[in-house]
């Protein structure tokens, strides 16, 4: 039961008085960071705190400790399912380590990205996780210069500590899957060239081809945005050229894949039967589409875990660029290629 729940907030002093100890003792007993003591005094203090409805004043604690146990997460936008999943995983992992994750969105404008970063730093976060890294962006470098603890997630600039999926392996899995199904004319639609993910997934795709003694024709590679609209546009481009229609498409992002699928159907090309499509990230939506999409699953939880390992002072070091292995999830959008179908 909570008493004195309103009016003047309950302070540590109140708790200490109620428990008949000094504030410093009370402070120690209520310190989450050390293992919960089971002594009589500790119990008494905790009970008093509970009875009074004590809640530590974070501002005071942070001021004194010089740390906020808060980490800032920067994403382009939360309305992108991939970013929502990434933040969700980070938030959960942070919580399990006693930290609180706050998020700011940067949009696509580097200027907004700076603004959002400053906003986060203004809140005195203990560290930053950026899911926005562009290979041509100097924000990570600027953070390094300023000595601000940070980790890149999902993408890397190949310098700052980074936690991401093994995009090269993922690209390989996708193409390998299509090759195994008998496809030969495979188009690859990848994201913006300024993202490491786009480049690495393409590199993995190339490896799969060359391993099969083939090569990825450059006219079948398209680097576009990561949006649904980009997928629709590229889909039309791929399928309108009736002569050289690919029998399969690897879209290095689920949004792109949905767009490609949508374009295909609007042109009377039936997914799976006429064209196989593989996406990337395995966002929840795609398994419930009329034609469930085959996709490469990004292990967001592992990435979040690695990101926090890199960010927080856990002692143990190791490779500052951690890549978690993705998995291919086969679904209805990919099917064996039969010559006669064409």
Partner DNA sequence: CTGTTAGCGCATTCAC
Partner DNA sequence: GTGAATGCGCTAACAG
CA 250 from chain center: how many Å?
A: 21
Among positions 134-173, residues that touch its own copies (CB under 8 A) are: 145-147
- Range 138-167, binding DNA (CB under 7 A): none
Q: Which of residues 18-47 bind DNA (CB under 7 A)?
A: 20-25, 27-28, 30-31, 37, 39, 41-42
Q: Choose, by CB under 8 A, the member of 17, 23, 41, 84 that binds its own copies.
A: 84
Q: Phi and psi dihedrals of 16, rounded to 5?
A: -60, -45
Q: Determine how many CB atoms are found less than 10 A away from the CB of residue 138.
A: 12
Residue 335 interface partner, choices its own copies, DNA, none, CB cut-off 5-8 Å depending on type: none
Q: Which does 165 bind (CB under 5 to 8 A by kind): its own copies, DNA, none?
A: none
In terms of Cβ atoms closer than 10 Å to its own Cβ (0-12, 13-18, 19+), residue 199 is: buried
Q: How far apart are CA 154 and CA 291, in angstroms?
A: 27
Q: Near its own copies by CB under 8 A, which window of 119-127, 169-177, 202-210, 217-225?
A: 119-127
End-to-end CA distance of the chain: give it in Å, rounded.
Answer: 73
161 binds, among DNA, its own copies, none (CB under 5 to 8 A by kind): none
Contact (Cβ atoms closer than 8 angstroms) between residue 80 and residue 132: no
Considering only residues 44 through 63, tell me which ones interact with DNA, judged by CB under 7 A: 54, 56-57, 60-61, 63
- Please state at what angle helix 254-266 crosses helix 81-96, rounded to 10 degrees: 160
5: partner contacted, choices its own copies, DNA, none (Cβ within 5-8 A by kind): its own copies
Q: Is 11 in the site for its own copies (CB under 8 A)?
A: no
Q: Between 78 and 220, whose beta carbon lies closer to its own copies?
A: 78
CA atoms within a 13 Å half-sphere pointing along the CA-CB vector of 162: 24
Question: Interface with its own copies includes 268 (CB under 8 A)?
Answer: no
């Amino acid at each position: 039961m909570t008493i004195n729940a309103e009016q003047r907030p309950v302070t540590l002093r109140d708790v200490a008085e109620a428990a008949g100890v000094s504030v410093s003792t009370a402070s120690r007993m209520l310190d989450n960071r050390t293992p919960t003591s089971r002594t009589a005094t500790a119990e008494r203090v905790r009970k008093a705190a509970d009875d009074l409805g004590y809640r530590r004043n974070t501002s005071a604690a942070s001021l004194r400790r010089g740390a906020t146990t808060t980490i800032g997460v920067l994403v382009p936008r939360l309305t992108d399912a991939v970013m929502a999943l990434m933040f969700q995983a980070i938030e959960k992992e942070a919580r399990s380590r006693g930290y609180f994750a706050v998020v700011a969105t940067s949009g696509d404008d580097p200027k907004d990205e700076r603004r959002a970063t400053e906003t986060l730093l203004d809140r005195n976060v203990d560290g930053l996780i950026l899911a926005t890294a562009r290979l041509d962006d100097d924000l990570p470098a600027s953070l390094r210069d300023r000595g601000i603890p940070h980790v890149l997630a999902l993408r890397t600039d190949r310098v700052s500590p980074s936690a991401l999926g093994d995009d090269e392996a993922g690209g390989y899995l996708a193409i390998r899957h299509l090759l195994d199904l008998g496809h030969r004319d495979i188009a690859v639609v990848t994201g913006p060239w300024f993202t490491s993910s786009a480049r690495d997934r393409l590199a993995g795709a190339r490896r799969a081809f060359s391993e099969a003694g083939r090569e990825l024709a450059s006219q079948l590679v398209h680097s576009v945005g990561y949006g649904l609209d980009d997928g629709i546009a590229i889909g039309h481009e791929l399928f309108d050229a009736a002569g050289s229609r690919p029998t399969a498409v690897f879209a290095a992002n689920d949004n792109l894949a949905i767009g490609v699928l949508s374009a295909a159907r609007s042109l009377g090309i039936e997914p799976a039967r006429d064209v196989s499509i593989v996406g990337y990230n395995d966002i929840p939506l795609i398994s419930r589409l009329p034609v469930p999409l085959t996709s490469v699953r990004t292990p967001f939880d592992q990435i979040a875990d690695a990101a926090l390992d890199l960010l927080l002072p856990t002692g143990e070091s190791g490779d500052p660029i951690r890549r978690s292995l993705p998995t291919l999830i086969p679904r209805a959008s990919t099917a064996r290629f039969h010559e006669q179908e064409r």
